[in-house]
Amino acid sequence: MVQILPLAHTAVGEVPELLEFLSQAGISLAPHVAAALVTDLASDIEAVLEVARALTPSQLSGHSALPDPLPLMPGLRARIGAAGDELDAEDRAGLLAAAICVEDRTDVLLEQQQVTMSELIASRGGTHLLFVAGHFSFVDPRMRIWVHGSATLAERTNAHIEMQRAYTAMGDMDKAIWHESLATLEGDNLLVPSLLRLSRKANAANNAVWAHAIAREAASHAVGAELFQAQLCAGEAALNLGQVGDAATWLGGALSSPDVLVAARALPAFIHAESLLAGEAPTVALARYSEAFLSRAQALDAAGFATVARQVAKATGLAAGLCAARGMLEEAEGLLTMAERLVEVHKIDGLPLCAARLWCANFGGPTIEPEYACRCRGCLDGLPDNSGARVVMEALTLGLDDDPYAGLRLLKEGPEAGRSMTVRNRGGGLQWAPTPLGLAYGAVVAALLQLWLGDVSRAAAELGRAAASVPVGLPFFGLGVIVARRLDVLTTGQVGTVAHAMEASYPAGSSAFIRTGDLMDRTLSAYLDGRIEEASTLGRLAAERSLRGAASPLHVPGFDEMTPHQSEAGSAGARVHDDGINGPLMPSGHRRASSARMALCATSASRFAKDYEYAERVSVTLRSQYERARTEFVIGRTCLEHGTPGVAREHLVVAADLFREIGALAWLRCVENTLSNMPEPPSHLDAPTLEPDIPTETVTISAAAAPRVAAGSKEALAHSSGPQGGSLASAKSVNVRGDGPLQRFRQAWGEQLTEREMEVAMLVVDGASNRQVAAQLHVSVRTVEVHVGRIFAKLSVRSRVELSVLAHRMGSEWIPACT
């Protein structure tokens, strides 16, 4: 019996199930390859398993192209054969034409078969096709595989001849040449120039799949000089698809061309492909080829030499960026300098090095001023670099400058008026159209920017969707793998199937960056599960590897919620004022948050007041909800350790709400466990009394500041401290004169809150959780949640902490609690 996956609507939803199934069968494949198999095999999991076993490891990893159509395996032949046997020769010929047609236009089938639309629909073969708005598709994609695989070579050849005739009659000579080449079994070198022209045209239109197919066909016909040109076209197209194994093979052949112009043009793409395939930039090969090509170019005229020098400079600038992404900053600086020297010495026009400069700067290379980044000759001549690399690097720059929203907009919309990187959409406007590999780079940077913003669930969902269509594991030496694993840990507590598959298909094996990321993932998982000693040990190992340069230069939020070495406790103050020179590159807000957390983790009784105040001040200014949630958690945990459970509960509740909002469910469970293990809050409604280690300085708040506090203003929360440096937590350390807090609250809030909402608000201010409030008032937790939401809305506050601050600031007369 055929086993069909239940999610038949989109291949994206089926990918994790398929990866898990194949993993149990001992087969690893890249997520985007799994999605392609699911689509082409109509979710027939037995057929997927059968075909996967017939593919090469390089094809399973996405490093080489899949055969098209997929091979017809015995099991699939047996299952589909019954439907195929009902077809007569004419119907089979019609379906074979549909299977080999290079596009899905219905009018091509009508011309090829010389029938009307009514006749085509009424035919037995027509029942296997779906016709919509002038286009066709197979009702069951497996039928396309069956009809192609069961046809004889003569039948397929004749189908291509008939398709050539149809396209010639329709005046589409480009498609006619394609089918003519497929019908020419003995090979014809005369077809190669036309095929190469078609391949370059498709590549310029960012149709890498079509460009690759044409170039491979051209290579099968080519001999002599045309063979090297075909290898060059095929290699460039394969790289654009992320098929780095095929790309390195094709381009390696092109590099040996006797024509130095062809060989030099292959160099930049070869450097990129080899870097992704081997896990580091091939700088030795670059130096060897560059010297040889420049030497051979001396025999050319001035224009020819400039062309070779341009390709060498382009390859050198690309290698500089790749070295920087690999953490090899000295090599990156040297290569970038060399590329700039080549541009200046040989007066190379039209070669902006903006992307290379940004690439190096973003990964810790030489710092550049914004205006200097675009001071290259091409930009000065009014030809800005709107390449995919430049767009991705600018988006990353914006993220590092604490503006990830702008970076995400740039990735979505692309450059304003790119010349080669834009196409017209159906509405006539311009839109960015990068290649699949370019999309993979953009998807990885977008996921990182969303993680920096703190939108964990969205980052995980969008990176998962991208993984099902493009090779997101390739860019930046496995950064996509690291981000995918980290998002899994944050959302579920463990690395998921898709992230494991991405790691298994990484071409260079498990890179040093991925191994360090794995240590951090295990650290985080252990801590969230309550295995503190294990987390401390793994965290120390991860920190040591990072210090040795074995971690990605870009910051992927990890774990700093505990101090690996207790001996570092005395240096907490130094970390508070960390200038951020060392360590991974990250937005400044993330560095402030990490500094505040580490200071609290290493604090002492004498430093607690100062470190608490600093952490609270940092927390309310953070743009990232995830970073704020982590900081609130550390504040709450540290307050609990220093004997202030009431204040601790407030911060922990804020952390839980934020983790829930952003989808960091593993963290949410950790915080909820901490809250459930805390002692019950006092049941009385008296004003809070002094807690042992919270600062006791006098707090003053002006009439002008009070409304801002009531409105939940971050500015007021960050700066409303007294002249003695007292923090907002000092509000927990005051006694209030008057007739009691409940009476005063009724007077102040009576017109806004109902009596029940007043009771809930008082218990919340006193530190009770929703469950505890529900138990005391004998109502459901859901009812309490509704009341709390209404209270927040009516009093214009956004969290329990802000509600407590507002409550404790009320009244006309405040005095410090007795010590």
CA angle, 480 then 438 then 68, to 5°: 95
DSSP character string of 36-88? HHHHHTTTBHHHHHHHHHHS-HHHHTTSSPPPSSPP--HHHHHHHHHHHHT--
Whether residue 732 has pLDDT greater than 80: no
Structure letter (DSSP) for residue 550: -
Give the pair of three-digit tokens for residue 290: 């560059």
DSSP state for residue 67 in the 8-state scheme: P
pLDDT at 730 over 70: no
pLDDT grade for 352, boundaries at 50, 70 and 90: low
- Has residue 48 got a pLDDT over 60? yes
Confidence tier at 656 by pLDDT (50, 70, 90)? very high
Q: Average the pLDDT over each of 141-145, 261-265, 294-298, 674-678 and give the range with the smallest value.
A: 674-678
- φ, ψ dihedrals at 141, nearest 5°: -55, -25
Tokens of 166: 């149809």
Predicted local confidence at residue 243, as pLDDT: 96
Q: What is the per-residue pLDDT across 562-571, written as a single tens digit (0 to 9) for each?
A: 764 433 333 3
User: pTM of the full predicted structure?
Assistant: 0.79
Q: Give the separation between CA 636 and CA 642, rounded to whole angstroms.
A: 10
pLDDT of residue 312: 95
**Residue 9: how many other CB atoms lie within 10 Å:** 9
Q: What does the alpha-carbon distance between residue 459 and residue 556 come to, in Å, rounded to a whole number?
A: 12
Instruction: Tell me what the pLDDT averaged over the chain comes to.
Output: 82
**CA neighbor of 238 nearest in space, from 285, 279, 276:** 276
Q: How confident is the model at residue 227 (pLDDT cuts 50, 70, 90)?
A: very high
User: How many of the other CB atoms lie within 10 Å of CB of 211?
Assistant: 26
Report the C-alpha dihedral over residues 609, 610, 615, 617, rounded to 10 degrees. 100
CA 157 from chain centre, in angstroms, equals 44
- Token output for 778: 């004998």
Is the separation of the CB atoms in 277 and 244 below 8 Å? Answer: yes
- With bands split at pLDDT 50, 70 and 90, how would you rate the model's confidence at 744? low
| β-bridge mates for residue 422, sequence order | 432
Mean pLDDT of 509-536: 91
Q: Which of 49-58, 353-362, 513-522 has the lowest mean pLDDT?
A: 353-362
Q: At 79, is the secondary structure helix, strand, or coil?
A: helix
Contact 569, 604 (CB under 8 A): yes
Half-sphere exposure of 373 (CA within 13 A, CB side): 20
Residue 605, both tokens: 């009784």
Q: If you average pLDDT over residues 458-464, what whole number do you get? A: 95
Segment 442-453, tens digit of pLDDT: 999 999 999 999
Strand-pair partners of 431? 423
- Give the CA distances from residue 298 to residues 291, 292, 308, 473, 724, in Å, rounded to whole numbers and listed in that order: 11, 10, 10, 41, 75
Residue 700, pLDDT above cutoff 70 = no
Whether 723 shows a pLDDT value over 80: the answer reads no
Determine which of 9-13, 77-81, 140-144, 496-500 has the lowest per-residue pLDDT on average. 9-13
- Mean of the pLDDT values across residues 610-638? 94
pLDDT for res 3: 35
Mean pLDDT within 767-789: 81
The confidence score (pLDDT) of residue 67 equals: 95
In this predicted structure, the answer to whether residue 84 has a pLDDT above a threshold of 80 is: yes
Rounded CA-CA distance 584/556 in Å is 9
pLDDT of 771: 82
Q: Which amino acid is at 294?
A: L
CATH code of the region 705-816: 1.10.10.10
Q: Above 90 in pLDDT, residue 32? A: yes
* The CATH number of the domain covering residues in 575-679: 1.25.40
- Note whether 376 and 354 are within 8 A (CB): yes
Name the maximum alpha-carbon separation found in the chain: 103
- Whether omega before 584 lies within 30 degrees of 0, making that bond cis, reads no
- Which position has the token pair 């002008």? 704
Q: Single out the residue of 469, 353, 589, 366 nearest to residue 13, CA to CA.
A: 469
The proportion of the chain whose per-residue pLDDT surpasses 90, expressed as a percent, equals 60
Q: What pLDDT was estimated at residue 267?
A: 97
Tell me the average pLDDT across 105-123.
Answer: 93
CB 280 within 8 A of CB 257: no
Number of C-beta neighbours around residue 441 at 10 A: 28
Q: Is 617 in a helix, a strand, or coil?
A: helix
The DSSP code for 126 is G
The identity of residue 160, as a single letter, is H
Among 13, 96, 2, which residue's Cα sits nearest to residue 41?
2
Of 79-83, 294-298, 715-719, 813-817, give the lowest mean pLDDT range.
Answer: 813-817
pLDDT interval class at 502 (50, 70, 90):
very high
